Structure 1
Amino acid sequence: MRSLILAAGLVLAGCAHPWNIADVAPGTPRDLVIARAGQPVRVLPLADGGQRLQYTLQPLGRYAFIVDLDPAGRVTSARQVLTETNFQRIEPGRWTRGDVEREFGPPALVDHVTSFQGDVLTYRWAERNEPMFYWVYVDPGGVVQRAHPGMEFINSPQDRD
């Protein structure tokens, strides 16, 4: 049984998956990134003529990976972006929905609340292995008005009813 689990782990490790971006070195060619991680969810142009590859495990996962490529198609940076430090970069009144999705990928959920006119983008992430939400409130003009974290309660007493 133990050898079966080990074999399954080795097979999965060899498959294309966004987790394979975690150790992609600068200078790695685009084709190798895609061979290791699969096709990105989105490809966006960068101001310098390069590209941004977005990989996300949303809506149920808590991680999103960004790979920036230079104009020659080589990695300049690769990182997991759903972190408290990155979310704190969001500037209400300045950032747009496009800025948010360029930096974090598509949200897990787009919702509405009666106390706000506009979309609420929900990102799932983890802080110290605790499941969290990050909500970004975008007005009808596409401008972020507020953003904040919140706990995602899993298996709470309400979930058991």
Structure 2
Amino acid sequence: MNSVIAKGACRLVLALGVAMLSACATLMPEQEGTRLVGQPQAAVQAMFGPPTDVFPLREGTTRWIYSKQPMGQYAYGADFDRNGNLTAFRNMLSTPELYKAQVNTWTRRDVAEHFGMTRLPVSYYPRMRNEVWSYRFRHEDVWPSLFHFYFDDAGVLRRTQITPDPLYDPDERRLF
């Protein structure tokens, strides 16, 4: 009887170990993606599945976005060289990455290529004549926030704004 229990316990431990290893890509995507630098696109897709967005970039490289939006606070960028090998894997919705957006220079295309397409509803403010794309993120890796990109009618980025995420504000949640 004890050997039956021991065999069952061994199988359970083995199954849990396999589950924990496969969860690494889900729980620590940035670290797992960084380990794949130099590998072909097929290896990245085998680890993370199909990307949510694919952007051929101007210099002949490609960026895949793995977005956790609209409810998540992360979007991971996988950059590939001309030969299809991974050169970088990082969270595109980190504070330093978001601050790379260049007001009066970037367009909708630049924002989409860098952060992926917004998965939150797009707003339009007719008096300002601005379309607004919003992304959930953790400001300074701590505070649940929204980063807003304001585009004029020509599609040029005119301002950015950070606001608290009402989804995480107990006083505001009852409004949604």
Q: How high is the TM-score relative to the length of structure 2?
A: 0.78
Counterpart contact for 2:34–2:88, Cα < 8 Å: no
Q: Secondary structure at the match of 1:53?
A: strand
Q: Secondary structure at the match of 2:35?
A: coil
The partner residue of 2:29 within 3, 16, 19 is 19
The partner residue of 1:42 within 41, 53, 67 is 53
Q: Secondary structure at the match of 2:76?
A: strand
Matched, 1:143 2:156: yes
Q: How much does 1:131 deviate?
A: 0.7
Counterpart contact for 1:18–1:37, Cα < 8 Å: no
Give unmatched runs, 5+ long, in structure 1. none
Q: Secondary structure at the match of 2:82?
A: coil
Aligned residues: 160
Q: How high is the TM-score relative to the length of structure 1?
A: 0.84
Q: In 2, Cα distance between the equivalents of 1:17 and 1:156?
A: 26
Cα-Cα RMSD: 2.9
Q: How much does 1:82 deviate?
A: 0.3
Question: CA-to-partner distance for each residue in 1:56-98, whole Å, 9 max, x for gaps?
Answer: 0111110001111111111111111101111111121111011
Partner of 1:121: 133
Q: Secondary structure at the match of 2:129?
A: strand
Relative to structure 1, is the Cα distance of residues 8 and 121 closer, same or farther in structure 2, using a 3 angstrom cutoff?
Answer: farther
Question: CA-to-partner distance for each residue in 1:119-157, whole Å, 9 max, x for gaps?
Answer: 100010012332100010011110011002111132422
Computing the radius of gyration from Cα coordinates, the structure with the larger value is 2
Paired-residue identity, % = 28
Counterpart contact for 1:48–1:70, Cα < 8 Å: no
Q: In 1, Cα distance between the equivalents of 2:54 and 2:157?
A: 23
The partner residue of 1:107 within 104, 118, 121 is 118
Residue range with higher mean Cα deviation, 51-60 or 110-119: 110-119
Relative to structure 1, is the Cα distance of residues 12 and 52 closer, same or farther in structure 2, using a 3 angstrom cutoff?
Answer: same
Higher helix proportion (structure 1 or 2): 2
Residue range with higher mean Cα deviation, 21-30 or 144-153: 21-30
Q: Secondary structure at the match of 2:58?
A: coil
